[in-house]
Amino acid sequence: MSAAGGGNSGAFSGTGSCTRQMVHGRHSLPCADTKGCGDGRRQRGSDAASAGGVRQPFGFGVAVDEFDDRHCGVVAIAIAGRYPDRFVPLGTVPFQAPDFAVAELDRIHKSLGFRGIEIATNVAGEDFSAERFRKIFARIEEFGLLIFMHPTGFPEARRFADHYLVNVIGNPLDSTVALHHLIFGGVLHDYPNLKLVIAHGGGYLPAYSGRIDHAAAARPDCCEKINRMPTTYLKRLYFDTIVFTHHQLEYLVEQYGADHVLVGTDYPADMGEVDPIGFIEGARGLDDNERRAILGGNAARLLSIEIPGRPE
């Protein structure tokens, strides 16, 4: 089961170019080509149609009056409607205008049947721990919607200019910073039933989580808005499998449970997993039940999807 990006953002598109571009004021990501240092197996994305890379659909830097449903929402609904057993539409909402975002959540969930939304790691530089975003998270939790968070990197970081470090380091770091704000800023404390999935295995925090507990024990400014150890909130989250080594995948399962790990692809970006299903099936430290959960069972549960023939 896949999620077709939607709501009021813009359609996904792909190209073989490796150039980061701006499309209608939104960042786009490069797709894979075959010019890397490897053995030529990375063919994914090179035949994807249209120009402009893969559009980042969030639109958090876009003027509110530019939001409409003529683009990605229509595409997502059309895809999900044509293949309802394979696609579930996710939306985007304008966090930069919280009242509008709440109204849009009402519309896409109640009228269009969307099961979740996609978000970036910040709202045009403003962190999600800001008080004005609380009403949005409250409505998301009320509806039981899934949130999928994907980073946009650190294009402003001078030291990340070479070697594609804006993505290689920047994307996981971007998610890491966002999660720290969600935890220490009290969002995950105030809304304990949020279903938040983080791309790229959750960034760096899941593998270095002891530091946040130490910080909470050592510094009062790290526990002003929470009353439990930070890792308590971290363990409520969900992570995808874009981690590239079986060791890291098995670590996520060991620490956070197979029921908190979902298959990821990052398709068609060049930093995606070539064979996401084979990657999971090849992890010797997982049993068959864990593989089934990661490959679809968890997504079905979080999105409230019934899969015929699958035991509950």
CA distance 196 to 210: 21
Residues 214-242 pLDDT 10s: 999 999 999 999 999 999 999 999 999 99
Of the candidates 307, 306, 309, 301, the one whose C-alpha atom is nearest the C-alpha of residue 116 is: 301
Identify the band that residue 65 occupies on the pLDDT scale cut at 50, 70 and 90: low
The overall longest dimension of the chain from CA atoms, in Å, is 54
Give the pLDDT of residue 83.
85
**Position 8 pLDDT exceeds 80:** no
Which of the following CATH numbers is that of domain 88-302: 3.40.190.10, 2.170.190.11, 3.20.20.140, 3.50.50.60?
3.20.20.140
Of residues 60 and 216, the one with the higher pLDDT is: 216
d(CA 240, CA 147): 12
**What's the pLDDT at 6?**
45
Kindly indicate the confidence band of residue 312, based on its pLDDT and cuts at 50, 70 and 90: low
Please give the pLDDT value at position 49: 27
133 neighbors 95 (Cβ within 8 angstroms)? yes
Q: What does residue 122 show for φ and ψ, rounded to 5 degrees? A: -165, 170
With 60 as the cut, is the pLDDT of residue 124 above it? yes
Q: What does the pLDDT average to over 196-222?
A: 97
Q: Is the pLDDT of residue 56 over 90?
A: no
- Average model confidence (pLDDT) across the chain: 82
